[in-house]
Structure 1
Amino acid sequence: MCTLSRAPQDKQHATRLTRGLITLFAFSCGAIVANLYYAQPITELIGPSLQMSSGSASLIVSLTQINALYMTSIFVGGGIGSALASALYERGGWTLVASVALAFPLIAFIHFLLVGRMPRPSNT
């Protein structure tokens, strides 16, 4: 039988977040987000050198921002899902985890059956 193991509560091996480390993390996060916007002012200069119109070049910046939003939602959703699964496992084991995991697609399917078949309003 598989059991979840917890990290030892040894305070000697615990990593402390110092003020300098927090500053480094904050600067790194700011630089990553700013990287999405660096190309916006120069897209009209970059586009012709790549044989692209200015609209196509600016589309690249927009798609990069959409991709960043998508990846952020993937990482946040994965963390929330992992935390939820761990809490469910501690309360009811794999049976509860599997039951909740099965409930989500069933709710979506029932929603599709009820709302997806509603008559659409006419445009006339």
Structure 2
Amino acid sequence: MMATSRLNNYLRTHRKHSGLSQSEVSFLVRLKNKSELSRLSRHERSVRAPSLRTALACQELYGVAVSDLFAGLSDSVASDTRLRMKRLQARLQAKVDPKSTGNRIMQKFQWISHRLLPMPNFKLVQHL
């Protein structure tokens, strides 16, 4: 996976709270050798984003949603995706025929518009 800019993640916080060593976490999330152990260190320092499999394993291990474990990356991805959705919405709006409700462009426009409605933030805050 490609390197990311330094965005907050809470892997080290949860590992320390659990009392587990990097070696033990590596075993639990199936990182098998020394180079993969150093990969865990890079994940903890936000130098490298983990694979989806590793992120999901950490979610299971710590009992914390991936979006909370990698809050900085999650927020960045959400912001970028919503910006792109707004751009697509504008493109589709230019193509929409207001007299036709059954066409595919209208369906896409309505779906994007619905997804862009403000959503309440129901994130649970974990206190360590």
TM-score for the superposition, normalised by structure 1: 0.30
More helix by share: 1
Higher relative contact order structure (alpha carbons within 8 Å, sequence separation ≥ 6) = 2
